[in-house]
Amino acid sequence: MIHTLDRKSSQGSDVMIQEIKKVAVIGAGTMGASIAAAVASANIACVLKDVDEKTVFGGLTKIDRIFESKVKKGLSVEEAQLKRALITASCDPKSLKDVDLVIEAVPEVLEIKRAVLTELDRELPEQAIIATNTSSLSITQLASFTKRPNKVIGLHFFNPAHLMKLVEVIPALQTDEQTIETCLAFAESLGKLSVRVEECASFLVNRLLGRYMNEALWCLQEGVATAEQIDQAAVDYVVPIGPLALRDMNGADIGLAVAQFNFQEYGERFRPAPIIEAMVERKILGQKTQAGFYLYDPETRKKTGINPQIQELVAELNKNPNKPAKEKSTQDFSAERLFLPMINEAFLALQESICKVEDLDKALMAGLGMRKGPLALAEDMGLAQCLEKLEANFKTHGERFRPAPLLKRYVWAGKAKIN
């Protein structure tokens, strides 16, 4: 259904948006179940669909646990039951015949997504919007697999979707303004911070996160700080969990795949630190193998100490008979060094008009739990001082710290604030 809503587009004009009364989520894994719970929590009917009953009912079990957790946190049993009842399960494509929006959350494999999108295009009503929760694949390419590319968009939820406050709304090159504004409004209706992000590899938050995560690995590999020192410095500075502890949670294999993708797309400044490649080769993957940068209890996944294999890897990677030994100093390490690449990438993203200036810090804070976003950190540091620090690190470490032209222009203009 289409109706007029009192909503202004980014150009300031009134727009007609679609009313979203019923949603389908394709893929009943952890992410799909979490998205379905977020939709139902906003009192919107939702179909959870997958290829077989076992998978679908596994997703429903996850949803039941989510609502049980909400009850423990204060939601009434009656309200939880009403919201849970809005979710129905299906393996039948015909169950999609009356949905207004479908969100696919299937594995990040292009051919799988192509097959799913082709089927959705065939089964969905003509006016239905197709959204993808991909975190890496091109929205424009995915849209091209359908006969309705103007109604295909990225809705990138952060895990767990029922708790995390950010949704990146990423248009394809072909997406029309009505679809964009409908999806921005839909994400807002779920109680999320809804941010329009223009298409680029890893989108906004994960693109900036990758620069900071990779710098933590370079610091560890250089031997200028231990894993504990790196994580504690980051936590004391601005984040709720350190980069290496976070990498252990997500898995070194996943981290390497993302890092290699970003390196392929963006070039030298995203070159992965060799230590993560060495960890994946040795199956030191993090919590899933009970050993990453830290050791973990196999039952509780709680941290039990530092992994001694990491120090061995650092020593091995720094052993080069043809290269004179360089004395390492803790003066080479600071929390600022970890975040300078993220700050610089933020300026590059603004330079590319990936998002609005006013949305960037809010997105990083909502998506990563940062107490301040990278632009605020740059302002606190002083833009001229930030540029000086980047230039100094550029001389020492190379392309990872090449200053963004936009930051230089702010400094040359004598600006203290980013707007």
Is the separation of the CB atoms in 53 and 90 below 8 Å?
no
Task: Write the secondary structure of the chain as one string of H (helix), E (strand) and C (coil).
Answer: CEEEEEEECCCCCEEEEECCCEEEEECCCHHHHHHHHHHHHCCCEEEEECCCHHHHHHHHHHHHHHHHHHHHCCCCHHHHHHHHCCEEEECCHHHHCCCCEEEECCCCCHHHHHHHHHHHHHHCCCCCEEEECCCCCCHHHHHCCCCCHHHEEEEEECCCCCCCCEEEEEECCCCCHHHHHHHHHHHHHCCCEEEECCCCCCCCHHHHHHHHHHHHHHHHHHCCCCHHHHHHHHHHHCCCCCHHHHHHHHCHHHHHHHHHHHHHHHCHHHCCCHHHHHHHHCCCCEHHHCECCEEECCCCCCEEEECHHHHHHHHHHCCCCCCCCCCCCHHHCCHHHHHHHHHHHHHHHHHCCCCCHHHHHHHHHHHHCCCCCHHHHHHHHCHHHHHHHHHHHHHHHCHHHCCCHHHHHHHHCCCCCCC
Annotated active-site residue 156? The verdict is: yes
Using CA atoms, how far residue 102 sits from 83, 134, 151, 179, 391, in Å, is 19, 13, 11, 12, 46
Contacts of 53 (CB under 8 A, 6+ apart): 91
Do the bridges between strand 22-26 and strand 101-104 make them parallel or antiparallel, or are there none, so unpaired? Answer: parallel
Please state the separation of Cα 137 from the chain's center in Å: 12
Query: Residue 49 and residue 43: Cα distance in Å, rounded?
Result: 18
Task: Please tell me which residue in 3, 156, 162, 397 is annotated as part of the active site.
Answer: 156
Query: Residue 275 and residue 315: Cα distance in Å, rounded?
Result: 11
**Residues facing residue 168 across a β-bridge:** 156, 195
Query: Residue 216 and residue 335: Cα distance in Å, rounded?
Result: 9
Active site residues: 156
